[in-house]
């Protein structure tokens, strides 16, 4: 059963659309159960476009983020680091420590260090380095230390070098496709402009709002959530059985960090109650 005390889910990503593109199902499940969800973008996303950049793009992405989080009633925060220039510095580590301590999450989601994007790798390193330090009162003493680490989980990717993701949590999120798509569609500069351009499919994007959202759901989102489902098909079948496991089209998979609180049976029941109901 879900916790009677609201759980607190914190996503620390590199860019303003990373959460909706990787963990929209879990975010939606938490919000529908009355839990608190917040995502932080460590960069302001000011380089993620082929025609617009700098402060103009950063302002656009703030508005898009407000629209996306409003879909499920989540909170968001965008920091001012420049897109494509993030480094895991000591100052940034202090900022991550403060953010985790202030929000007091039960579960943190972030990138894995095996990732194509340097900003993603930097965020992964920052969260890893902050994990133990959030409990040390002498580190960043201006923000009270936590008594214990939250559970930290890595959002799914399909990279295999130097090591593939370990599927500690494997979820069918087909039931949340429309909500995930609605959130991601709010990031207009990414969903319908930059990402299609970057992938060489800009000419395929329709012009009407309804048509674009349908295109996004049917042709683009499968490259995110569908790719995860295909990469972890065996695990889905193990978890859900042959009939359901083979038919899942949107999936989320998480690896639990060894550097923070372990996911024991009690924590698994608390944080992922919906997988055992």
C-alpha span between 127 and 148 (Å, rounded): 15
Are the beta carbons of 1 and 246 closer than 8 angstroms?
Answer: no
Are the beta carbons of 201 and 54 closer than 8 angstroms?
Answer: no
169 contact partners, CB below 8 Å, separation of at least 6: 153, 252, 253, 254, 256, 272, 275
CATH 3.40.50.10320, domain 8-172+254-275, yes or no: yes
**Whole-number pLDDT of residue 107:** 99
C-alpha span between 220 and 59 (Å, rounded): 25
Q: How far is CA 107 from the centre of its chain?
A: 12
Q: pLDDT 10s digit of each residue in the chain, 277 long?
A: 555 799 999 999 999 999 999 999 999 999 999 999 999 999 999 999 999 999 999 999 999 999 999 999 999 999 999 999 999 999 999 999 999 999 999 999 999 999 999 999 999 999 999 999 999 999 999 999 999 999 999 999 999 999 999 999 999 999 999 999 999 999 999 999 999 999 999 999 999 999 999 999 999 999 999 999 999 999 999 999 999 999 999 999 999 999 999 999 999 999 999 998 7
**∠ at Cα 53 (50, 55), nearest 5°?**
160
**Whole-number pLDDT of residue 2:** 54
C-alpha span between 86 and 90 (Å, rounded): 12
**Whole-number pLDDT of residue 224:** 97
**Whole-number pLDDT of residue 277:** 73
List helix spans (H) across the chain. 18-22, 24-32, 54-70, 90-103, 118-133, 177-185, 188, 195-198, 209-215, 225-231, 233-240, 242-247, 265-271
How many CB atoms neighbour CB 261 within 10 A?
18
**Whole-number pLDDT of residue 276:** 85
C-alpha span between 20 and 198 (Å, rounded): 19
**Whole-number pLDDT of residue 3:** 58
Within 13 A of 243's CA, how many CA atoms are on the CB side? 0
C-alpha span between 263 and 114 (Å, rounded): 21
C-alpha span between 92 and 143 (Å, rounded): 15
Q: What is the pTM of this model?
A: 0.97
Which residue in the block uniquely carries the two structure tokens 């083979």?
246
C-alpha span between 181 and 38 (Å, rounded): 18
C-alpha span between 242 and 233 (Å, rounded): 10
| Residue 22: C-alpha distances to residues 65, 157, 203, 209 (Å) | 15, 9, 25, 23
């Amino acid at each position: 059963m879900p916790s009677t005390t609201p759980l607190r889910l914190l996503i620390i990503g590199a860019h303003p659309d990373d959460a909706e593109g990787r963990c929209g199902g879990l975010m939606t499940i938490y919000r529908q159960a009355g839990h608190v969800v917040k995502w932080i973008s460590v960069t302001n996303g000011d380089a993620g476009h082929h025609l617009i950049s700098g402060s103009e793009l950063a302002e656009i992405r703030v508005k898009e983020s407000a629209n996306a989080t409003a879909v499920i009633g989540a909170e968001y925060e965008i920091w001012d680091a420049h897109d494509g220039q993030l480094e895991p510095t000591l100052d940034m580590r202090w900022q991550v420590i403060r953010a985790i301590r202030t929000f007091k999450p039960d579960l943190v989601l972030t990138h894995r260090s095996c990732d194509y994007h340097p900003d993603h790798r930097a965020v992964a390193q920052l969260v890893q380095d902050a994990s133990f330090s959030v409990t040390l009162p002498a580190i960043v003493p201006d923000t009270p230390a936590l008594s214990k680490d939250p559970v930290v989980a890595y959002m799914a990717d399909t990279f295999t070098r130097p090591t593939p993701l370990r599927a500690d949590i494997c979820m069918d999120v087909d039931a949340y496709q429309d909500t995930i798509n609605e959130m991601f569609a709010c990031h207009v500069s990414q969903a319908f402009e930059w990402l299609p351009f970057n992938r060489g499919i800009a000419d395929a994007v329709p012009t009407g709002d309804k048509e674009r959202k349908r295109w996004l759901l049917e042709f683009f989102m499968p490259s995110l959530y569908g790719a995860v489902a295909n990469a972890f098909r065996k695990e889905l079948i193990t978890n859900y059985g042959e009939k359901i496991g083979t038919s899942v089209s949107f999936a989320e998979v998480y690896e639990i960090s060894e550097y923070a609180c372990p996911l024991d049976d009690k924590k698994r029941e608390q944080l992922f109650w919906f997988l055992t109901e």
